[in-house]
A = this chain, B = another copy of it.
Amino acid sequence: MTIYDIANALNISPSTVSRVANNKSGVRRETRQLVLKYMEEHNYVPNITARNLVNQSTKIIGILIADVRLAYHAESIYHIQRELTSLGYCCIIFNTGADDAAKAEHMQILSQRRVEAAVLIGSTFQCPLVEEAIQRHLPNTPVFLFNGHMDLPNVFSIMADEQNGVTNCVRFLMQKGRKHPAFLLNAHTPSNDLKLFGYEIGVRSYLHSEPLIYEAPEDSVQGGYDGTIQLMQEHPETDSIIYSVDLLAVSGLRALRDLGVLVPDQVSVIGVDNSMYAQISVPRLTSLDNKLLDMSMTTANMLIDALSGKQTTRSIMVLSDIKEREST
């Protein structure tokens, strides 16, 4: 069903049908009603592809993430998609996997689909390969980088203040009387490195002692457990642990429990993300809330402003705070 079919059936011209379809003025009331009725009865919907071709717009936004299955990512997608859909856009979403090269290759797909903007969720997109691919394939498309920064004119940044956030966690622990906080992470993402740095600053400035950093195996569940066991065996003086993400911390809680260490009496535990995991763990987990919802909404708004030609800030940082629960 095209505007031509309608035009023929009603003995009018395609242009008139088009005007009605686009709700434009310059059509007699009766004619409009007639067309509208026909459309309604025949479930006519304009072919967006054709419309886009002539309008030079696709109303498509590309979203790239390493893996939606991570709660962190799904949360962001949820808000961004809903906000954009309400404005007539639609989102094509790709799970790129962890590999940098694979991430970079997806830029070409986005370019081919003529997305009007791209959103890259996760700090791991901040890497040379991706930066290069953006310059190459999307030099004029606004790109929104979640939790990362790139020095390109078309790249916007939405950051969580995780570095300061973790520094604040150290202070928070100090105020609780803790003297030996350790930091445990399971991967060196730009985001985790910031947290790590924030931890080091906190330890040095608030406790005037040396940082104690452990790197656990990649797998969050097993890594959090094994890393914690090792940490406590080698450093029994540890009285608090900050984990780079909640899931790791939850596994850490199990390890401490198996070791007979009481949380929070003997050891305080803090995670990052303030995710569902933090709400259901035993004991419930104190977690650094990096304001995912705020970040997502902000991203959606910046994106819309950018698309409508408005000048917007190129870089925004959303402040995090500590959600205290039973583990501290």
Q: Which residues of A contact B (CB under 8 A)?
A: 43, 45-50, 52-53, 58, 60, 67-69, 71, 73-75, 77-78, 81-82, 85, 90-95, 108-109, 111-114, 136-137, 221, 247, 250-251, 253-254, 257, 276-277, 279-282
Which residues of the partner chain B approach A92 to less than 8 Å between Cβ atoms?
60, 90-93
A62, closest chain B residue (CB): B90
Question: A36 to nearest B CB, angstroms?
Answer: 16
Which residues of the partner chain B approach A81 to less than 8 Å between Cβ atoms?
68, 93-95
Which residues of the partner chain B approach A254 to less than 8 Å between Cβ atoms?
280, 282
Q: Say whether A280 contacts B279, CB under 8 Å.
A: no
Q: Say whether B95 contacts A279, CB under 8 Å.
A: no
A113, closest chain B residue (CB): B48
Q: Say whether B250 contacts A45, CB under 8 Å.
A: no
A56, closest chain B residue (CB): B49
A77, closest chain B residue (CB): B68
Q: Say whether A43 contacts B137, CB under 8 Å.
A: yes
Question: A276 to nearest B CB, angstroms?
Answer: 8
A81, closest chain B residue (CB): B95
What are 25 A-B interface contacts by the 8 Å CB criterion? A43-B136, A48-B114, A49-B53, A49-B58, A50-B53, A60-B92, A68-B77, A68-B81, A69-B74, A69-B78, A78-B95, A81-B94, A82-B95, A85-B94, A85-B109, A90-B92, A90-B109, A91-B92, A91-B93, A93-B93, A221-B280, A247-B276, A247-B280, A251-B280, A276-B277
A63, closest chain B residue (CB): B93
